[in-house]
Amino acid sequence: MKEAMQQKEEFTLDSIPEPTDIENIIYSLMVNPNLSSINYFNDFSEAGISPESIGDGDNDEIGLFDIDSTGTSLAMSTHAFHHHLENDPQKATEILIARAARKMLCLGAQPTAVSAFLYHIDFADPNGQYIASGAKKGLENAAEKFNLKVSDKKIRFDHFSGHGPVPPTIIISMVGVVEDKEKLTTHAFKQKGGNIFLIGRSVEDIGSSEYLEFYHGISDSPLPAFNMEDELRIQAAMRELHKLGLLQSASPVGKGGLFFTLLRAAIPNGLGFDITTDAETRMDSFLFGEAMGRILLEVESEKEDDFVDFMTGKNIPFFTLGHITKGELRIDDNSLGYIDKMTPGV
């Protein structure tokens, strides 16, 4: 690692004042292209994206493909990490693969294989070898932990610097097997009154989040909190929850943190949510932090006791967030209006 990187002053959560106006943060982040309800940059077609198309396709960006007449299908998704890769390439790569596997398991697919491509590595820079070596270790370690086959791994070196500085980027593609498409658990909330749970450990962390970078303008921060062993336990629990039929919907907490994960789950069916935040965690960290190993779940009322018993028996942290509403969004008894306010143009 470069000496300059070793001497870099570390970001601390205490340097960010705890906010009091959550609504202002939400509407400020809504214009972020990575979080917008209508993301024009995620469609390569020339045709404009119609507001009526919001929520079309209920798999939250995972592609599904039939491979035979028995009902078996493949699921595939792509994920990337860019400028934060330089801070800790091994951890960044492990996070990326864990995120992809968690998303597959929320759907009900079994992660099977992964490919990784490392771009914009300057072979003339000694730090390039550090990044490549760390990414390789992260890929191999995560593949072993998650029982994945590595189908391909390549590095693209930058031979010229005429295009200016380009941050190293790793892109991974993951393939999973779906045995029965009729049993898939999608990300969209299904019905008013459903119970909403968050499984996984809530931590004080906003590192590398869209909130920190877009709202506060701080791009130099640690990677999101991540613990491989916690991730493995949570993903194993998800497999059992699917088998027990206890889930109505499931979403990995991702870009934008818990609030935008809730929003992505609410939009497809025009539903809302009424939640209570964790009093022991900073509100901005709880709502907008992007720490790994957390999943948003919808559970029917009649299955709530079975779900709680299962989670308690497995000794896996979980938090009762609240319930699904007909369309209103409420946080700690404060109304943010209705879901149509969060879908510009509708």
- Show me where the domains of the chain are located: 13-40+186-342, 60-182
Quick one: pLDDT at residue 277?
97
Quick one: pLDDT at residue 312?
97
Question: Cα angle vertex 53, ends 49, 58, to 5°?
Answer: 125
Quick one: pLDDT at residue 60?
56
User: What CATH number matches the domain at 13-40+186-342, 2.40.30.30, 3.30.460.80, 3.90.650.10, 1.10.10.10?
Assistant: 3.90.650.10
Name the nearest CA neighbour of 289 among 212, 226, 232, 231. Answer: 212
- First-residue to last-residue Cα distance in the chain: 49
pLDDT tens-digit profile of 283-328? 999 999 999 999 999 999 999 999 999 999 999 999 999 999 999 9
Question: Cα angle vertex 153, ends 152, 155, to 5°?
Answer: 145
pTM of structure: 0.90
Percentage of the chain surpassing pLDDT 90? Answer: 70
- Give the Cα separation of 115 and 282 in Å (integer): 37
Task: Place 205 in a pLDDT band, splitting at 50, 70 and 90.
Answer: very high
Query: Buried b vs exposed e over 255-267: b needs ≥16 C-beta within 10 Å?
Result: ebbbbbbbbbbbb
**pLDDT value at 8 more than 60:** no
Task: Place 345 in a pLDDT band, splitting at 50, 70 and 90.
Answer: very low
Q: Which residues pair with 328 in a beta bridge?
A: 338
Cβ-contact 49, 36 below 8 angstroms: no
pLDDT tens-digit profile of 84-134? 888 899 999 999 999 999 999 999 999 999 999 998 888 777 888 899 999
State how beta strands 110-122 and 149-158 pair: parallel
Fold of 60-182: 60s Ribosomal Protein L30; Chain: A; (3.30.1330)
The alpha helices in the chain, defined as continuous H runs, are 3-7, 22-29, 89-107, 126-145, 210, 228-244, 257-266, 283-288, 304-314
Residue whose token pair is 């450990």: 201
Q: What is the DSSP string of 177-232?
A: EES-GGG---SS--STT-EEEEES---S--TT-HIIIIIS-----PPPP--HHHHH
Cβ-contact 88, 221 below 8 angstroms: no
